[in-house]
């Protein structure tokens, strides 16, 4: 299963001389492919990590406004405050989910102060200078978009994991065309690879085969078997949801869930914000149970996609709680 990372330091880190490329070079190729997918561009998986980082950095430096369009108003305001604060200065915020996008895109590095329950954000000098003249415009446009979204009662589109693209599948519309003399013809979304739906059908076939071999009743007309599990969990009473959250945290701490991802990391962060009085959850932190359920949804959906056997193992453990 792919491991996706954010830049979260164990100690306070106060150097903003790092470039965006140097941030990108720290993480693995799966994370770089995820970031490319968020920007709507394709990278061949045969690229080295350094080349991927270079291409992504070039894209952001040439298209800063498109990068800022990925962020919420709260995140843009953090960047604006970082511009005013100057070099080597943290911007401190409560540990909330509002700031996930800029962390996942590695625009900032983060220190999580667990005792204070605060996040310390650090913006590289290179990006601070790049974004400075654009932030007021970006905030204005994002507020307008959010207001329209609220008026229409619509939700933003779900960002899917990036498809791994082979070199021979790149088209002339891709940003990373080898011919630097030609201008991009289209700024629209990238095309879905021809083999995408056959890939999904193959996954469904493997799930159906595994379900039949193990006597499981898992409908394959849905993209993910985790949909049914999460529907069952979300219908549980609050007390049962607390038990589910505890059970999933126990699986993580016992290392029974393979690779750590940004979703399991977020689950742990939200779980650590819960205040327990014995077996009961303190009212002050009860809303974090809902956050943890959302984190669980993201985590097991990814596990279901990349490691169906592990998903069924987890589902079996959680089913004991659901029907216990």
Structure confidence by residue, pLDDT tens digits, 133-161: 999 999 999 888 878 766 665 444 444 44
pLDDT at 79 over 90: yes
Cα gap 195→260, rounded to integer Å: 28
Mean pLDDT computed over 246-265: 82
What confidence score (pLDDT) does residue 3 get?
45
Cα gap 92→121, rounded to integer Å: 6
What confidence score (pLDDT) does residue 186 get?
38
pLDDT at 21 over 50: yes
Domain assignments of the chain as residue spans, ordered by start: 8-169, 196-322
The structure's pTM equals 0.49
175 with 40: CB under 8 angstroms?
no
pLDDT at 246 over 90: yes
What confidence score (pLDDT) does residue 173 get?
33
What confidence score (pLDDT) does residue 168 get?
41
pLDDT at 182 over 50: no
Q: Determine the straight-line distance between the first and last CA of the chain, rounded to whole angstroms.
A: 30
Distances (CA, A) of 46 to 3, 4, 41: 18, 18, 15
In sequence order, the β-bridge partners of residue 91 are 121
Total H helices, total E strands in the chain: 14, 6
């Amino acid at each position: 299963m792919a491991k996706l990372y954010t830049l979260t330091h164990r100690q306070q880190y106060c150097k903003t001389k790092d470039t965006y490329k140097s941030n990108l070079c720290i993480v693995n190729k799966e994370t770089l492919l995820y970031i490319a997918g968020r920007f709507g561009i394709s990278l061949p998986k045969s690229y080295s990590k350094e080349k991927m980082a270079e291409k992504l950095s070039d894209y952001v430096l040439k298209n800063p406004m498109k990068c800022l369009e990925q962020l919420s108003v709260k995140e843009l305001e953090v960047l604006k405050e970082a511009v005013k604060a100057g070099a080597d200065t943290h911007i401190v915020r409560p540990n909330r989910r509002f700031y996930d996008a800029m962390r996942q895109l590695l625009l900032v590095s983060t220190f999580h102060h667990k005792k204070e329950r605060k996040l310390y954000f650090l913006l590289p000098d290179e990006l601070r200078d790049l974004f400075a003249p654009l932030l007021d415009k970006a905030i204005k446009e994002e507020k307008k978009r959010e207001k329209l979204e609220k008026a229409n009662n619509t939700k933003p589109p779900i960002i899917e994991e990036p498809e791994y693209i082979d070199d021979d599948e790149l088209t002339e519309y891709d940003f990373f065309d080898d011919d630097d003399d030609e201008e991009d013809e289209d700024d629209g979304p990238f095309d879905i690879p021809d083999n995408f739906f056959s890939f999904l059908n193959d996954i469904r076939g493997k799930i159906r085969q595994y379900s039949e071999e193990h006597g499981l009743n898992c409908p394959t007309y849905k993209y993910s078997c985790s949909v049914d599990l999460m529907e069952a969990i979300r219908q549980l009473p609050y007390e049962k949801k607390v038990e589910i959250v505890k059970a999933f945290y126990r699986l993580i701490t016992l290392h029974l869930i393979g690779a750590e991802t940004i979703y399991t990391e977020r689950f742990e962060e939200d779980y650590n914000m819960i205040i327990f009085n014995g077996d009961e959850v303190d009212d002050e932190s009860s809303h974090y149970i809902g956050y943890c359920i959302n984190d669980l949804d993201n985590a097991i959906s990814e596990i279901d996609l990349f490691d169906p056997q592990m998903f069924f193992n987890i589902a079996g453990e959680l089913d004991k709680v659901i029907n216990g």
